[in-house]
Amino acid sequence: MDIEALNAEHGIDGVLRFTKGRGGFVMIEIANAHATALISPYGGQVLAYRPVDAAEDLLFVSDRAYFSEGKAIKGGIPVCWPWFGPDPEGKGRPAHGFVRAWPWTVLTTEALDDGSTRVRLGIADDKDTRAIWPQYFNLLVDIRLAGALAVDLVTRNAGDRPFRITQGLHAYFKIGDVDGVRVEGLDGCRYIDQAKDGAGAVLTQHGPVGFEREVNRIYEDVPSVLNIIDPAMGRRIRIESEQSRTAVVWNPWAETAMAMDDLDDQDYRRFICVETVNTASEVIEIPAGEDYRLGACYAVEPL
């Protein structure tokens, strides 16, 4: 991507500019009346978002994250598509699909009347994507930066027959310390336990979700609003989802974190993932010529 050309076509004076970031990747830097943010067109990924009155960023990005072609960036809000989790056909394709390690095209940038900023990035199928996933599609991530951060993932079936997807907005949230953090809103929900010692058991959540060991759970029939309560940072993170009735809560804990080259050994104490997804029993079929929109809105509130 040519930074000079991108700034000429899509830059917004005093609000949005394209720069060179880690690994030489092109980045979109935004500073408007409401918040600051950093977006990577590689992966179509929000990497940072901080309201003007917030003491800390909403999102976590590992200091050891890969910024290299063909690898996913550990942190922010990776886009998992057109499947969530392992390759559903067992063909050895990447976990969580291929678009989180793929270059997206900058479609539009816009300064809105309320002082917020909108960025749209997209991928259209070509021979390279069809070699991985043989479907015709247009994929759009629509990012709106105001007092809250809104991210919509819109899939259009550009072919002549239906296709099926699972997907997710795999958000990594920065926390003060994993001790004492809890996720509220899932009481009574059934979940599939995917942690190493969970063996895929189907269980029911009782009370808020806490973290004392590895947590890797797919919750089903979830409400549209979940909250992360973070006493160490004195804040609540509100997550409002649209067209999603499944959610994933993940923290790798110490042993798994130590096995990941793109995480520091102590990073498990600094983030949790609460992911707005369509997965497990929630497989989405999109008819030919139609769209499906998965959405999440993230807001930071004081406790």
The confidence score (pLDDT) of residue 199 equals: 85
The confidence score (pLDDT) of residue 196 equals: 87
Query: Cβ distance 162 to 288 under 8 Å?
Result: yes
pLDDT grade for 122, boundaries at 50, 70 and 90: very high
Whole-model pTM: value is 0.97
pLDDT at position 228 over 80: yes
Mean pLDDT of 68-85: 97
Q: How far is CA 61 from the centre of its chain?
A: 12
The confidence score (pLDDT) of residue 197 equals: 86
The confidence score (pLDDT) of residue 224 equals: 98
pLDDT grade for 1, boundaries at 50, 70 and 90: confident
